[in-house]
Homo-oligomer: A and B are copies of this chain.
Amino acid sequence: MSRRVSPLESERADYRPRVPAVLGAGIGTVAVREGGTPVPPVASDDDEIRARFPTTHGRPAVELAAGRDRVAADPLRVGVVLSGGQAPGGHNVIAGLADALRAIHAGSRLFGFLRGPNGILTNRHDELTAERVGPFRNTGGFDMIGSGRDKIESDEQLAKSLEVCRGLDLDGLVVVGGDDSNTNAAVLSEYFATHGQKTVVVGVPKTIDGDLKGGGIEASFGFDTATRVYGELIGNICRDARSAGKYWHFIRLMGRSASHVTVECALRTQVNVALVAEEAEQRGWTLDHVADSVADVVRRRAAAGRNYGVCLVPEGLIEFIPEMRGLISELNRILTAEGEAVERLDSADDKRALVASKLSQAGAKVFGSLPVLIQRQLLIDRDAHGNVQVSKIETESLILSEVAERVEAWNASGEFAGKFSAMCHFFGYEGRCAPPSNFDADYTYALGRLAAALVAHRRTGYVCAIQNLAAPPDEWRAAGVPLTSLLAIETRKGRRTPVIRKALVRLDAEPFLSFARERERWQVDDEFMYPGPIQYFGPPEVCSVPTRTLELERAASASTRGR
């Protein structure tokens, strides 16, 4: 019996994603042109990367072009793995891949590794036939094959991966993931190449955080849909705030370190305040400074008779305020050194006291200034790598309590002409598995088809790069960027490690500049915009527009080229 589906799911099942011609029906006969994409500047640690990636480093960027290179005389066998947090469109990457592989050769076969990279290590996979893939077309989530956060790093893991890919006789392995997973893909690609394993490894840029871009990658998939879901909710809350006239809403947004999600949502809703973690870091703001700046808007709005407002707080903020970052790294050190002693204590208060006693003077001062709730959250919930999990710290509630303190003081001294009542929200899980917008449905399907073409053309160590994304899909370009061109070397856990650096919000570039130019206007006068829910069927201005981030970045790059 087939699953009961909602009316929208049923309708979306028939959606045919739009792709550029080169990724269309003739995908079996396209040509690959080298140097099609500008090669990004060589990283400063290029020599070290060349030494670590002797076989795969230094290859040119490529671009698909109309051509007559029929590639696969034989059927292709390809594996695909979803890695890390969910992002809308993952299923369409698989659908595009499956369709293109079959278009290239009807006898091609696709295998989905289950529950992330661990599925490779344990050789658990499902064959992804047309029937298996069908019901997942244009749906959100990663539940077709699951995802996971494991990494393939150690020599044993690399050897095991090779054994599994060899056992399945894979021509290609498509790794769908973020910065870490694509770094992993680069490592696997090199490992396979130097060990004579034919499996071509191709990466696909995924993350709702929007921090995997640059060097030829314009956007990670999922960012569009997730920010639209958050934008819908924020807009609704702006309208509620203005209608009720009596609440401030402090809204924390998912996005890890980077504040791209917050900036995109701010541009689309024109909230009264949106904090940007990267700005706090680069300007060296203290928690007090941040709270002062928000409280000032609260005060000025109250003076204008507006006892309500909306403030966005990126979840990464807590780690980007320099004094907080210092405190967190002290805490990480103490918890590693004193973990057992802390564990032995029964009460949360005793634990806090013990940790506090080990802090530096500066650390103790910051720690002591925080609400007890936040102190507790800073002490629990380290992830497997010993890092604080920003998504579990209620930074919005921290900012709110600091603001409330200031308002109370003003109230006591008669400097506050209004009322202040507030509530907190956290939006994250609501958007990660949303059904993909038309943009993300098209984009991910194109990425999947591009991945198939790169495998067919035996281009290992490339990440799929669909370009010109701010234009309609028929104007998109299909490129491949060598993964090693994105790598830098960083010291992690005491070891020199190749990494793709997260692309943070740049304060000297669009779209931050556009946000910074406008934000003052939004503070006291209500200039809210209400994006509403994602539309799939409406006029193109409503259902097929790129993010503000993409639009502004395109405009900026066009104007640079025009100079």
Contact = CB atoms under 8 A, between A and B. Distances in A.
A429 B115 contact: no
A242 to B, nearest CB: 5
Most buried by B among A12, A85, A240: A240
A533 B533 contact: yes
B537 A237 contact: no
Contacts of A322: none
Interface stretch (A3-11, A454-462, A500-508): A3-11
Given A11-B538, A11-B539, A537-B537, A435 B141 contact: no
Interface in A231-270: 232-233, 235-237, 239-240, 242-245, 247, 249, 268, 270
B4 A527 contact: yes
Interface residues of A, number: 61
Given A243-B433, A435-B530, A8 B535 contact: yes
A432 interface: yes
A434 B537 contact: no
A268 B6 contact: yes
A86 interface: yes
Given A146-B245, A533-B534, A141 B541 contact: no
Given A237-B429, A536-B538, A541-B11, A245 B115 contact: yes
Contact of A529 (B4, B86, B532): B4
A146 B305 CA distance: 14
A147 B423 CA distance: 19
A223 to B, nearest CB: 16
A435 B532 contact: yes
Contacts of A314: none
A18 to B, nearest CB: 17
Contacts of A535: 8, 533, 535-537
Interface string A146-173: 1100000000000000000000000000
A541 B7 contact: yes
Most buried by B among A5, A244, A425, A539: A244
Q: How many copies does the complex hold?
A: 2
Contact of A236 (B235, B430, B527): B430
A347 to B, nearest CB: 13
Interface string A110-147: 00000100000000000000000000000111110011
A542 interface: yes
A431 B243 contact: no
Nearest to A231: B6
Contact of A542 (B3, B11, B539, B541): B11
Interface in A5-46: 5-12
A531 interface: yes
Given A115-B245, A245-B115, A541-B7, A532 B12 contact: yes
Nearest to A82: B243
Given A229-B236, A236-B431, A527-B3, A242 B143 contact: yes
A7 B242 contact: no
A255 to B, nearest CB: 16
Interface string A388-422: 00000000000000000000000000000000000
Interface in A356-407: none
A297 interface: no
Contacts of A541: 7, 10-11
Contacts of A303: none
Contacts of A536: 535, 538
Contact of A423 (B8, B232, B429): B429
A72 interface: no
A489 interface: no
A545 interface: yes
A6 B234 CA distance: 13
Given A240-B432, A535-B537, A6 B143 contact: no
Nearest to A529: B6
A227 to B, nearest CB: 13
A529 B9 contact: yes
A86 B542 contact: no
A532 B151 CA distance: 32
A96 B343 CA distance: 64
7 contacts: A8-B530, A86-B243, A141-B242, A147-B244, A239-B433, A425-B430, A537-B539
Given A143-B242, A425-B430, A535-B535, 6 more contacts: A6-B235, A7-B541, A146-B245, A229-B236, A240-B429, A537-B537
Q: 6 smallest A-B Cβ distances: which pairs?
A: A533-B533, A537-B538, A239-B433, A141-B239, A8-B532, A240-B433
